[in-house]
Structure 1
Amino acid sequence: MAGADLFLGQGWAFPPRFAAGGAGVALVSGTDDVAESLAILLATRRGERVLAEDYGCDLAEFMFAEITPALVGQVHDLVADAVLEFEPRVVLNGVSVSTERASEGVLAVAIDYTVRATNSRFNMVWPFYLDEAVRPLGAGG
């Protein structure tokens, strides 16, 4: 690894994947590692990680909640605070929460960020399902 990839790091792909025969684990690095880290952050409840109890974004607390402007604001603030606190490799340009799929019980959380090491801008959309107990990791919106 060199340059920006060294700063951004390398980690296991998520969800974990293994090579044929289990000979090795799939790794991601650079901006892919940052994107996967953001997805993991959004899917992790605070207190879920024993050695980092404050890590996470408690979106699950809104499970089965009625979609109101107040809820949209709370989701926005929770996501923005989590990214600012736990992902120092990015500059948060903005967070938006779309209610376009509210009738399906889905809020689309869009995170616009710039990776500090490369000055490259990215946008990630996280589908948050309010009416299901499943939070898909890496699912597109």
Structure 2
Amino acid sequence: MKINTDFLGTGWSFPPEFNETEGKLAMTSDVEDINNSLMILLSTRPGERVMFPNYGCDLQEMLFKPLDLTLITQMKGIVERAILYHEPRINILSIEINAQDEIEGEILIEINYEVRNTNTRSNMVFPFYKEEATEI
């Protein structure tokens, strides 16, 4: 028996791309759409969207702070609040911060969640880079 997940929605793929065979915009749905929505939410700074000035997750303010337990707790709170206010399709089960590659400038934010109407569990890992990538 297949569960109907049409209520989870369908949206543009992220980053936007075109399906070359059909000449249409590539779309995502179900859990993939939720993961894309979370990627967009976590990579958007509050104020970037003119019509939704509170939309986003201000992780950029954490860039030059030393990574200690206080900062990790702060980052978890920022991510949790952003998801709570802007992604109503899921319940957060846990948020983990993996700072093993901090020296290289990468922090992984792992979000374990449950889709509310189906009780389906999933996760998503957001790579937060403390430095911009350059060719230098």
**Greater RCO structure (CA 8 Å; 6+ sep):** 1
CA distance in 2, matches of 1:14, 1:28: 9
Q: Name 1:69's counterpart in structure 2.
A: 69
- Residues 3-29 of structure 1 show CA distances to partners (whole Å, capped at 9, x for unaligned) of 322x11111001001122882100011
Report which stretch shifted further, 21-30 or 38-47: 21-30
Gaps of 5+ in 1: 135-141
Displacement of 1:60: 1.3
Q: Is the 8 A contact 1:63 1:133 kept in 2?
A: no
Q: Name 1:137's counterpart in structure 2.
A: none
RMSD: 1.9
Report which stretch shifted further, 119-128 or 20-29: 20-29
Q: Name 1:19's counterpart in structure 2.
A: 19
Q: Name 2:110's counterpart in structure 1.
A: 110
CA distance in 1, matches of 2:85, 2:65: 25
Q: Name 1:3's counterpart in structure 2.
A: 4
Q: Percent sequence identity over matched residues?
A: 42
CA distance in 1, matches of 2:66, 2:132: 13
TM-score between both structures, scaled by the size of structure 2: 0.88
- One-letter amino acid matched to 1:8: L
CA distance in 2, matches of 1:9, 1:19: 19
Gaps of 5+ in 2: none
Displacement of 1:122: 0.7
- One-letter amino acid matched to 1:3: N
Pair 1:58–1:22, CA change in 2 (3 A): farther
- One-letter amino acid matched to 1:100: Q
Q: Is the 8 A contact 1:91 1:113 kept in 2?
A: yes
Q: Name 1:128's counterpart in structure 2.
A: 128
Q: How is 1:55-94 mapped onto 2 (pairs within 5 angstroms)?
A: 55-94=55-94
Q: Is the 8 A contact 1:64 1:131 kept in 2?
A: no
Tell me how many residue pairs correspond in the alignment.
Answer: 132
TM-score between both structures, scaled by the size of structure 1: 0.85
CA distance in 2, matches of 1:111, 1:35: 10
The alignment partner of 1:49 has SS state of coil
